[in-house]
Amino acid sequence: MNAATSLKTIVDSATTAPFDLARIRADFPILEITVNGKPLAYLDNAASAQMPQPVLDRLVRYQTREHANIHRAVHYLSETATAAYEGARKKIQHFLNAREEREIIYTRGTTDAINLVMHGYGRAFLGKDDEIIVSQLEHHSNIVPWQMLCQEKGCKLRVIPCDDTGELLLDEYEKLFNAHTKFVAVTHVSNALGTVNPIKAMIATAHRHGVPVLVDGAQAAPHLRVDVQDMDCDFYCFSAHKLCGPTGIGILYGKAALLERMQPYQGGGDMILSVTFEKTTYNALPYKFEAGTPPIAAAIGLGAAVDYISDVGIENIATWEHQLLSYATEQVGGIRGVRIIGTAKDKAAVLSFNVDGVHPHDVGTILNEEGVAVRTGHHCAQPVMQRFGVPATARASFSFYNTLGEVDQLVTGIRRVQKMFA
Amino acid sequence: MDSKQLYQEVILDHNKKPRNWGKLEGASHRAEGLNPLCGDHLWLTLKVSDGQIEGIAFEGQSCAICKASASMMTTNVKGKTIDDAEQLVREFREMATGKLDVVAQPNHLGRLSVFSGVKDLPSRVKCAILPWHTLHAAIHEADSVSTEGEQDPVAVAHAKP
């Protein structure tokens, strides 16, 4: 028995999932496939998570029994579809603990939600020399829209630095505020490193300076309890497909008072009350921001995904993913010649690492041979890579349906990489 | 495909001990190649005289496939005419994208055919081709090439006015 196996045995006996892991896995048909003759170990959940059977079933049921356009006709199918679409909004409201249903806006995803706020709020209320604070840990989608706004309006981007573990420097953050500061856009959880930012405290700091805060929750919503009233964020964004839901749909939560003041993002059907060639009156929230026919099935699928996640229990999910991360950190970090990037005290289920002397892309290709799916590259977070002086990393990211055995499969793969490149 | 087929001894060797590594003093042609997808980044310098590549060197940060491809490219085109080098660029690109069957069809690739396996790994094709794009750009004196954006950087690489 080697060291890895004995440790795994200890971990297995000491820690088991707070739910029936085998039953959970049986809900995800894709986990049964083999890749290159090896069982799939899907460790790319931060890029996109897999969909359980109840969500798939809900999509099929909608499309086979309930589909028509929403908010339009008086016929049975239109009313059924509308009820399902609006019912999903209600589920999401509860999931985020939003005060009102109209604070939940359907978008195409996190990126679209951030762009909506940039257009609807940024372009309306920010001007020359105003400052926007972002962090070193942002995904490109929470940098580029604000840079576009800076170019257009002559605003400035200020950046919260992070330390060598990947934790934001909160003292430096506080120092960035001045009379010009008009907006903060910060991630809840880093997609490249897994750092969980102390978001509630950061929001309180901004609010002390009278500045609203947008939180990029793409990596947080699937892994930890999000309570928008408790954290008191002004905007919160996430994508369905990282939460075991469909692609093409995401959510913008915004405080109703702010959303009311904002300009629509896109014009079209469904977002109006009345249209003449002289004047158009916009619809009420949330429809003001939902122009055109939305991805109805995807929205309903997100509702089903929220139900599924809630049934498993977000606290249970957080507990098990934390155990997976601890075990993986110990096992992968214990391999000589492997460097873990991102060692914050509070982390979500992301393990970024580099193998000495081997480019992450080669690591990824060889891990794929072992059936292990990881992401390699800059993770759309080039400023993070620059901060840590690496062109790219390999990233294993866990979901609640992963097993300790899959972590072992990853470790076996990394050892094979080292052997090939020795 | 099995990664053993791609990561053959010769590729691993060129990755470990890249040939013609560095920058040429007094280069007549130079270009920078970038693959934003995986962060492959290399600089190529050439000394061309009378239509012949007298010297060539490269350096940068890249994955094994890209580095070995660059290294083997330099050993292959050194001493060749620009026209012969351009023919290799074309053939290598066709091999890597599966349009040239190195076994069935005549070609001048020789040992470079160890890279034929990348055609089965679409995400890695760009890694293998980048040095060749960069060589093409250097010959045509374009400043830099990227494997992102334009469909075919070889087709869009252009000489400075």
CATH number at residue A45: 3.90.1150.10
Do A330 and A284 have their domain in common?
no
Compute the nearest-CA separation of A217 from chain B (Å): 24
pLDDT of residue B149: 44
Place of tokens 């330390």: A163
The domain total for chain B is 1
Tens digit of each residue's pLDDT (9 = 90 or more) over A278-296: 988 999 999 999 999 999 9
In degrees rounded to 5, what are phi and psi of residue A241? -70, -15
**Cα–Cα distance, B158 to B161 (Å, whole number):** 9
Among A271, A291, A311, the domain-final residue is: A311
- Determine the average pLDDT of the residues in A330-351: 97
Using a CB-CB distance cutoff of 8 angstroms, which residues of chain A are in contact with residue B2? 36, 369
The domain total for chain A is 2
Task: Report if residue B46 sits inside a domain.
Answer: yes
Nearest CA-CA partner of A29 in A360, A401, A393: A401
CATH of the domain at A139: 3.40.640.10
| Helix A296-312 × helix A53-61 angle, to 10° | 150
Do A213 and A302 have their domain in common?
yes
Do A382 and A407 have their domain in common?
yes
Task: Report if residue B161 sits inside a domain.
Answer: no
Q: Which one of the listed residues A150, A162, A244, A380 is annotated catalytic?
A: A380
Tens digits of pLDDT across chain B (161 residues): 566 678 989 999 999 999 999 999 999 999 999 887 767 889 999 999 999 999 999 999 999 999 999 999 999 999 999 999 999 999 999 999 999 999 999 999 999 999 999 998 888 899 999 999 999 999 987 555 666 543 344 333 333 32
- B-facing residues of A in 349-378 (CB < 8 A) are 358-362, 365-366, 368-369, 376-378
Can you give the length of chain B in residues?
Answer: 161
Do A170 and A268 have their domain in common?
yes
Among A280, A311, A342, the domain-final residue is: A311
- B-facing residues of A in 14-53 (CB < 8 A) are 36
Among A267, A283, A311, the domain-final residue is: A311
Do A175 and A295 have their domain in common?
yes
Contact A319, A398 (CB under 8 A): no
pLDDT of residue B150: 39
Which structure tokens are listed for B63? 């994955």
Interface test with A, best of B7, B14, B59 (most A CBs within 10 A): B7
Task: Report if residue B17 sits inside a domain.
Answer: yes
- Per-residue 3-state assignment (H helix, E strand, C coil) for A345-371: CCECCEEEEEECCCCHHHHHHHHHHCC
For residue A367, the chain B residue with the least C-alpha distance is B3
3-state SS, residue B39: coil
Domain interval for residue B23: 3-156
CATH of the domain at B127: 3.90.1010.10
Domain interval for residue A36: 3-49+313-420
Do A39 and A60 have their domain in common?
no
